[in-house]
Each structure stands twice: as structure tokens, then as C-alpha cells.
């Protein structure tokens, strides 16, 4: 398995065609997985925003005030307003805003970024990252003369850097993907002792995102797109279930019943 950053991508602007920009700079081959940082997908989709776009309502002011009291740091209620507008549920409102975004991903501050955003205060996550991945995949297939009807394939994963519970440190996760399943089901396969596995479902899109994020970097590297070569999903059972249903999500229920004072 090889991971290679796409070199020399420019600063991405609204309306840019990411597939064309990538295909102009590298050869995408049958079987490749291309990961793209959501930051540049958002920039291409015009998701830049400013705090003045989000006049704070009473709820945002209350949330920001409480966060300010807890942290002793100034919190802009307009930022809280932006987080609320990008979310369908506030999972925790203290000591930080953990929310479910409109496309089902749970993360801090609805994934709104304040780094790598020239000329604007905020960068919102792509509205529908799966559709973004599908569109970029279609563009890459066309630009590379690859035809799924001939059994040729390219997968695209839109990633973000995200924190996690229980452990320090952030890593790359998948927000949307196209051209491959999200996870590989190992249940029913056997271990080295011939014992049948009953539980393991491997989130391959997250694992690819984390690996790619090592190449992408987090700062001024300028390498938002990575080509993953010589890795194959293979002939396995898979599924697209990455976000848990609320019903079966024990941690989510525990958080709902718990209040931070």
C-alpha cells in the first residue's frame, strides 16, 4: 500500500473543480482511493462564512455565556449560533459543543474550522459530503478515462481531522465516501485458531482517512489530497453503516442523561 500526496494544488476557491485540479497534477489509476480533506471540499463549495452571517439568538448567547464562565475565555455567541445552525442536535453544551451535524456526523463545534480559511472567519463542513465524494469521483473517472461499466473503479473519501473520546489526540475520519463500502465485515471469517469472529466490523474508510491524514498534515503543508494505491477492499461483505442509530448508541444515551455543572 502506498500513499502519495498530490503536489502543487493551489489555494482552493469557490467553484473550483477539485477532480480536474487533481487529475491535472497526478495520474489516477484503476483501484486507487483518493482522500480529500473536507477543508478544500468546503472551500470549493463556497462554505466560507463570517461571524456577521450568524446574529446570535437567545440560545446561542446563553450557551456562549456558560462556556465563557466555565473556561474564563471570551466566547463569541455568533460562533455558538453558527454551530447551532449547522447541527440537528446538541449532544453536550458544556464544557464544549458536541453536536450532530445535518449529515449525521457527531463532532465538536459541528466541524466548523477556523484554520486555513483566508479572508473569512469560518469554514463550515461540506453540506452533504457523500454527494461531494460522488461528484469528485465522477470527475476523476472521466478525467482518467476509467469506466465502471468495464469493471474499473476509483473511490473517493472526504475526510476531516476530528477528536475522539477516551484518548488524547486527533486523527482523520471519513465524512463521506463513494466507490467503496464504509466498512468491512469480518464476522463469520476465522482467526488463526479457526475460531469464527462474531463482532469485528472494520471501518475501512476511517482507517484510510487516518493513514492519509499522516500525509496530509494539519498546518501549512498544502497537501489536502492523497492517492492511496495498491490497497483493495477485496471480495468481502461490507456496509455503509458508519453513523450509529440513536437507538443502539449507548454512549449517546449516557451523554443525554448527564449534565456538566
Give contact residues for ligand GDP (rule: CB under 6 A): 9, 11-12, 37-40, 43, 113, 115-116, 160-161, 216-224
Nearest to 155 by CA among 172, 170, 176: 176
Count of C-beta atoms within a 10 Å radius of residue 185:
16
- CA angle, 10 then 11 then 16, to 5°: 85
Residue 43 touches which of ligand GDP, Mn ion, none (Cβ within 5-8 Å per kind): ligand GDP
How many whole angstroms separate alpha carbon 256 and alpha carbon 227? 39
Residue among 261, 230, 84, 242 nearest 162 (CA) = 242
Q: 100 or 113: whose CB is closer to ligand GDP?
A: 113
Residue 222 contact, options Mn ion, ligand GDP, none, Cβ 5-8 Å cut-off depending on partner type: ligand GDP
Quote the least distance from Cβ 159 to Mn ion, whole Å: 8
Least separation in angstroms between residue 170's CB and Mn ion is 8
User: Considering CB distances under 5 to 8 angstroms, the limit depending on partner class, which of ligand GDP, Mn ion, none binds residue 170?
Assistant: none
Give, as one character, the DSSP assignment of residue 10. -
Which of Mn ion, ligand GDP, none sits in contact with 31, Cβ below 5 to 8 A by type?
none
Are the CB atoms for 183 and 206 separated by under 8 Å?
A: no
Collapsed DSSP state (helix, strand, coil) of residue 175 = strand
127 is in an annotated binding site: no
160 forms part of the interface with Mn ion (CB under 5 A):
yes
11 is in an annotated binding site: yes
Grid cell locating 256: 443525554
**224 annotated ligand-binding residue:** no
By CB under 5 A, tell whether 189 contacts Mn ion.
no
Looking at the Cβ atoms of 112 and 141, the one nearer to Mn ion is: 112
Distance CA 66, CA 144 (A): 52
Residue with Cβ nearer ligand GDP (56 or 124):
124
User: Does 219 show up as a binding residue in the annotation?
Assistant: yes
Residue number, 40 or 146, with CB nearest to ligand GDP: 40
- DSSP helix/strand/coil, 4: strand
The annotation status of 74 as a binding-site residue, yes or no, is no
- Is there a binding annotation on residue 116? yes
Give whichever of 17 and 68 is closer to ligand GDP, judged by the CB atom: 17
C-alpha to C-alpha distance for 97 and 140, rounded to whole angstroms: 36
Query: For the packed helices 18-25 and 129-143, what is the interaxial angle rounded to 10 degrees?
Result: 40
Give the dihedral sign, CA 215/218/220/225: positive
Residue 113 touching Mn ion (CB under 5 A) = yes
Binding region for Mn ion (CB under 5 A) = 113, 160-161, 218
Annotated binding site for a divalent metal cation: 113, 160-161, 218
Amino acid at each position: 500500500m502506498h500513499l502519495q500526496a498530490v503536489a502543487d494544488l493551489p489555494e482552493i476557491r469557490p467553484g473550483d473543480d477539485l477532480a480536474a485540479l487533481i487529475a491535472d497534477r497526478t495520474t489516477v489509476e484503476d483501484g486507487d482511493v483518493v482522500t480529500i480533506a473536507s477543508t478544500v471540499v468546503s472551500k470549493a463549495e463556497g462554505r466560507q462564512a463570517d461571524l456577521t452571517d450568524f446574529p446570535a439568538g437567545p440560545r446561542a448567547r446563553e450557551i456562549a455565556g456558560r462556556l465563557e464562565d466555565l473556561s474564563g475565555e471570551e466566547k463569541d455567541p455568533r460562533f455558538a449560533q453558527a454551530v447551532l445552525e449547522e447541527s440537528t442536535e446538541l449532544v453536550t453544551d458544556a464544557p464544549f459543543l458536541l453536536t450532530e451535524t445535518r449529515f449525521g456526523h457527531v463532532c465538536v463545534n459541528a466541524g466548523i474550522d477556523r484554520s486555513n480559511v483566508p479572508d473569512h472567519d469560518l469554514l463550515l463542513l461540506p453540506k452533504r459530503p457523500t454527494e461531494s465524494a460522488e461528484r469528485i469521483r465522477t470527475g476523476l473517472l472521466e478525467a482518467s478515462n476509467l469506466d465502471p461499466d468495464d469493471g474499473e473503479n476509483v473511490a473517493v473519501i472526504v475526510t476531516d481531522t476530528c477528536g475522539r473520546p477516551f484518548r488524547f489526540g486527533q486523527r482523520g475520519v471519513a465524512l463521506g465516501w463513494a466507490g467503496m463500502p464504509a466498512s468491512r465485515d469480518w464476522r463469520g471469517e476465522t482467526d488463526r485458531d479457526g475460531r469464527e469472529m462474531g463482532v469485528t466490523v472494520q471501518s475501512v474508510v476511517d482507517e484510510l482517512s487516518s493513514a492519509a491524514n499522516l500525509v496530509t498534515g494539519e498546518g501549512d503543508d498544502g497537501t489536502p489530497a492523497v492517492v492511496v494505491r495498491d490497497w483493495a477492499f477485496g471480495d468481502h461483505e461490507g456496509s455503509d453503516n458508519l453513523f450509529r442509530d440513536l437507538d443502539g448508541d449507548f454512549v449517546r444515551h449516557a451523554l443525554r442523561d448527564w449534565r456538566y455543572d
